[in-house]
Amino acid sequence: MKRTYKYLLIIISIVFSMQTLATQINRVSAIRVWADPDKTRIVMDVNSNIKHKIFKLKSPNRLVIDLKDTKIKRSVISQSNNNKGLLKGIRGAAKKDGYRVVLDLKKNLKVSSFFLKPNKKYGNRLVIDLFANSKSTTEKMVVKSTKSIKTKKDFVIIIDPGHGGEDPGAIGPKKTREKDVVLATAKKLAKKINAAKGFKAYLTRDGDYYISLRKRINLARKKQADLFISLHADAFRNSKVKGASVYTLSQRGASSEAAKWLASKENSSDLVGGVSLNDKDDVLASVLLSLSQTGTNNASKKLGNIIFKELGKKVILHNNKVENAGFVVLKAPDIPSILIELGYISNPKEEKNLKNSKHQNKLAVAINNGIKKYYDEYSKTALLRKTPAYPNKNNKNKKHTVSKGETLSLIAKKYNTSIDKIIKVNDLQDSQIRAGEKLVIPM
């Protein structure tokens, strides 16, 4: 009798544990919405890879996300600030087998979803991206600006505030986020640059959202940038470490292995949706890499030195000279590029400074002075780009559609040009081409 009872207990407990395994409850602890000019990103904090189904419904346009075996607190759904970008609002209701989240959309949209792994700030996340179907406003703006270039080209500076959205960058002891202080400083800098005639600054982002690597580079190309300046803030274990730094890129230590590593990094950066893989700004360094080229190394160094000197007049410097990031330089248009670490956010005093509007202004003044000095010193030399290094609709380049079996060297011979020129003008990664591919032939 006792024995049977024991067996029964075991069987009951097995059945019970199977039951609990099967109905393990997932939870969504927070929902965040990030809107940039091209897409709206909805991020849900989840405790595991939730099984989910996503489908669109029309009139009114909405997106339904059915989350299996999931519970969500009412307060998580009923946030007031969900009317952002392409999103009108978020609703939700419990179902028999889980939870249904309904996203009310402003129009019919393209949608994609994926999971994000934990970073320094957040755990597992389910991400839903909403894309506007029509051409974005940024693209429309570009058409306008290329027209004005024909008459007289402004000196164009791309300012790239690091990180954004789900990627906070480094975080200070008082929880100050790198993404916020670099954006605030970037906005002040852009304002100062744009106040001078003949100078035009563009920001890679002007809000709290993440911009993919590809888009940062594309913006620089489309705007026919003369300079590219990435803004960041450093962090280190030792909270006493302090000072601003300026980085340029060097070819020293370059190897094909490093090139491969970098290429894989670059490609993966879009997949991880703006989550840096470690504390270093590898992803952003690779933006600089693909923008700067051997020919502009010199120009980048001059720019770096001048801005470094100007910064030294206003704030504490970390080092006594411009530093090199030892990476390989990729093939791309020539844009002198530098990365500025505005200070150490991990140092309590510098964290306070970086947040301070007056200090941000100081930094912006120093960088702006540097840009103007660079322009004055080098506007009459070859260091400044006179013609864009990428295809331009206004010049006499020819178009060629690659036919089967054709190689770059055959095409180069046919048009009496060089393989290198074709690679450069089309921004090809290597000499591999495919049938049907359309190439611009530099004449």
Residues that bind Zn ion (CB under 5 A): 162, 169, 232, 281
Question: Which amino acid type is present at position 289?
Answer: L
Distance between CA atoms of 326 and 304, rounded to whole angstroms? Answer: 15
- β-bridge mates for residue 54, sequence order: 65
E strands along 180-290, which residues? 199-203, 227-234, 245-250
Comparison of 245 and 426: residue with beta carbon closer to Zn ion: 245
- Close Cβ partners of 443 (under 8 Å, ≥ 6 residues apart): 396, 397, 398, 415, 417
- Min dist CB 104 to Zn ion, Å, is 35
- Min dist CB 279 to Zn ion, Å, is 9
Taking a C-beta distance cutoff of 8 angstroms, is the pair 235, 177 a contact? no
Comparison of 101 and 171: residue with beta carbon closer to Zn ion: 171
Distance between CA atoms of 72 and 91, rounded to whole angstroms? Answer: 11
- Min dist CB 28 to Zn ion, Å, is 29
Rounded to 10 degrees, the C-alpha dihedral 250/251/257/261 comes to: 30
E strands along 47-185, which residues? 52-57, 62-68, 70-72, 87-95, 98-105, 110-116, 125-131, 155-161
- Min dist CB 341 to Zn ion, Å, is 8
Comparison of 154 and 281: residue with beta carbon closer to Zn ion: 281
- Min dist CB 178 to Zn ion, Å, is 5
Taking a C-beta distance cutoff of 8 angstroms, is the pair 176, 185 a contact? no
> Which residue number has the CB closest to Zn ion?
232
- Min dist CB 391 to Zn ion, Å, is 32
- Min dist CB 343 to Zn ion, Å, is 12
Comparison of 215 and 232: residue with beta carbon closer to Zn ion: 232
Taking a C-beta distance cutoff of 8 angstroms, is the pair 93, 48 a contact? no
Comparison of 153 and 232: residue with beta carbon closer to Zn ion: 232
Distance between CA atoms of 4 and 8, rounded to whole angstroms? Answer: 6
Comparison of 105 and 364: residue with beta carbon closer to Zn ion: 364
Comparison of 32 and 179: residue with beta carbon closer to Zn ion: 179
Question: Around 316, how many Cα atoms within 13 Å sit in the side-chain half-sphere?
Answer: 12
